[in-house]
Amino acid sequence: MRALCTGTALAFLLPSAQAATDEIAIPDPLPITVKRADFGREPASRDARHIADWVVDSRDNLDKVFVIIDKIEARVFVFDADGRIRGSAPALLGSARGDHTVPGIGERKLSAVRPEERTTPAGRFVAAIGQSSRGEDVVWVDYDAAVSLHRVIRTQNRLQRLSTPTAKDKRVSFGCINVPTAFYNTVVSPAFSGTEGIVYVLPEIRSVREVFGSYDVDERSTRSDAALSASARNEPAASSGAR
């Protein structure tokens, strides 16, 4: 009889418990906040903005200052660790078009570097201040390839080339990145003082996504919104089919 009463009591209780469960409100998932770089009023190409936003959103810079070198536009952007622009300036770059570097080129004399080998290599580099063979402080971008970011060398009409509006005029170096002296002294040098930084040299032949494995922050935001919306409806998010 006790078992029968207990069973009867449970039969009455279970629907009530299920009803209470159904009334529990499940909070909506929080949207993902997309982070972007702050270029201020500096004009920049689509690729430069794409990489800067990806760096800030993914924190690929590891909380270090970072620099973007846009070879196609012949321009340098310096950011603090949080992605706020510190300054921008035109730059002189390798005279040869290409995203590669020749193995062992850093060991050669300049006179032994052929014209087609004078590239500024694309990629992500951990950079720091050091000394050049002239005894001047430079930011070493790729030490093995002897590629550095430094004050403009006053040869080959380089000062004049820096001031022209066309990027083609700025392809003149053996591979190093030459910037105006005032910009180096007031922006580049203080940014790297006592710390390493990350330098992103944008490609001119390959795509930025291929070189850096980056993503578009707007696309990421759209996919996240779709996933959240599907989750709220308790439905699977649409798949792109890509693996």
User: What average pLDDT does the segment 191-196 reach?
Assistant: 96
Confidence of residue 134 (pLDDT cuts 50, 70, 90): confident
User: How many angstroms separate the CA atoms of 5 and 198, rounded?
Assistant: 74
User: What average pLDDT does the segment 139-153 reach?
Assistant: 96
Token look-up 């004009």 returns: 43
What pLDDT does 23 receive? 57
Beta carbons within 8 Å of 115's beta carbon, 6+ residues apart:
95, 96
- Is residue 38 predicted with pLDDT exceeding 90? yes
Single pTM value for the model = 0.80
- Dump the DSSP string for 65-125: EEEEEETTTTEEEEE-TTSBEEEEEE-BEESS--S---TTGGGS-GGGS-GGG-----EEE
Full set of structural domains in the chain with CATH: 46-101+112-211 (2.40.440.10)
User: How many angstroms separate the CA atoms of 152 and 105, rounded?
Assistant: 21
CA 211 to centroid of chain Cα atoms: 11
User: How many angstroms separate the CA atoms of 171 and 173, rounded?
Assistant: 6
pLDDT digits (tens, 9 = 90+) for 56-112: 999 999 999 999 999 999 999 999 999 999 999 999 999 999 999 999 999 999 999
Mean pLDDT over the full length of the chain? 86
What pLDDT does 139 receive? 98
Percentage of the chain modeled with pLDDT above 90: 73
Lowest-pLDDT choice from 56-65, 83-92, 154-163, 232-241: 232-241
Lowest-pLDDT choice from 20-34, 192-206, 222-236: 222-236
